[in-house]
């Protein structure tokens, strides 16, 4: 059996990874980890100054493209542009998303549609644009950022829950179609991660923080790098027989009580 040496098993050298929502938070953590593993990384988002600062912080081998994932018709042009400038996109990370916290009965159809368009339709448009090249090359990895909302119900986030649950199903569906062509499809489902936004929210709501920690068996929040390195694993040769999986990275939340 041809088994790669330990460092090579987790290497992303010679890979080009496109990460949506890559300028901040978990997307930036994924981009940073993939870059450290040897990949060229392309950060995608709507805010140019934010993307430029993130790419500069990552260093040589990191670049950015301004793109709105909700502009579904623009997805093929983005993939074509990156391919022309940097070579084929061999790793696609569908991470971009928005949040909406609101009682279910007060969530309007327009609000629901906006969340689904960002998380679900935007991810599908880019997947549909990137996958044919991967299928032709018989190689590629597509990753999604799922959520605890993909696994169980959360209050006051019905549109977000619907979107993240859909992503878990899409991972299975794409995997069944693409894996026979050498293209693997997986997702990471973050638990409660200590990003700047979540820290600010929890600092102002100590009771909520206590509830979160009480139901987390490891008794602490994760850090963005925890998600980044899980994504590296799923995209690397070490996971070459892993497809259709939604991997919780949650300190045990999804199996604890």
Interstrand relation of 91-94 and 140-145 (parallel, antiparallel or unpaired): parallel
Q: Report d(CA 224, CA 74) in Å as an integer.
A: 29
Contacts of 166 (CB under 8 A, 6+ apart): 116, 119, 120
- Dihedral pair phi/psi, residue 69, rounded to 5°: -65, -20
Q: Report d(CA 136, CA 146) in Å as an integer.
A: 27
- Looking up tokens 């939604």, which residue turns up? 246
- Strands laid side by side in the 16-20 sheet: 62-66, 40-45, 16-20, 91-94, 140-145, 183-190, 246-249
- Looking up tokens 């709507």, which residue turns up? 46
Residue in 29, 48, 1 with CA at minimum distance from that of residue 249:
29
Q: Active site includes 160?
A: yes
Among 64, 144, 160, 174, the one annotated catalytic: 160
DSSP 63-80: EEEE--TT-GGGHHHHHH
DSSP category for residue 119: I
- Secondary structure (3-state) at 145: strand
Cite the active site residues. Answer: 160
């Amino acid at each position: 059996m041809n088994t790669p040496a330990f460092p090579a098993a987790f290497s992303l050298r010679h890979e080009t990874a496109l990460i949506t929502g890559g300028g901040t938070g978990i997307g930036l953590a994924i981009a940073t980890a993939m870059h450290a593993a040897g990949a060229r990384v392309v950060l995608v988002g709507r805010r140019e100054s934010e993307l430029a600062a993130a790419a500069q912080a990552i260093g040589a081998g990191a670049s950015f493209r301004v793109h709105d994932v909700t502009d579904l018709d623009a997805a093929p042009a983005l993939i074509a542009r990156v391919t022309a400038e940097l070579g084929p996109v061999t790793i696609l990370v569908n991470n971009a998303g928005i949040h909406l916290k609101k009682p279910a009965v007060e969530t309007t159809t327009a609000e629901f549609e906006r969340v689904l368009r960002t998380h679900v339709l935007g991810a599908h448009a880019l997947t549909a644009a990137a996958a044919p090249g991967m299928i032709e090359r018989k190689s590629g990895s597509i990753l999604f950022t799922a959520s605890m909302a993909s696994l169980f119900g959360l209050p006051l986030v019905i549109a977000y829950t619907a979107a993240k649950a859909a992503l878990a199903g899409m991972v299975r569906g794409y995997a069944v179609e693409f894996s026979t062509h050498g293209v693997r499809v997986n997702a990471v489902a973050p638990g409660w991660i200590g990003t700047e936004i979540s820290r600010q929210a929890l600092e102002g709501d100590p009771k909520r923080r206590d509830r979160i920690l009480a139901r987390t068996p490891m008794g602490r929040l994760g850090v963005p790098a925890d998600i980044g390195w899980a994504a590296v694993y799923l995209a690397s040769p070490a996971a070459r027989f892993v497809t259709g999986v939604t991997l919780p990275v949650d300190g045990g939340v999804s199996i604890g009580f």
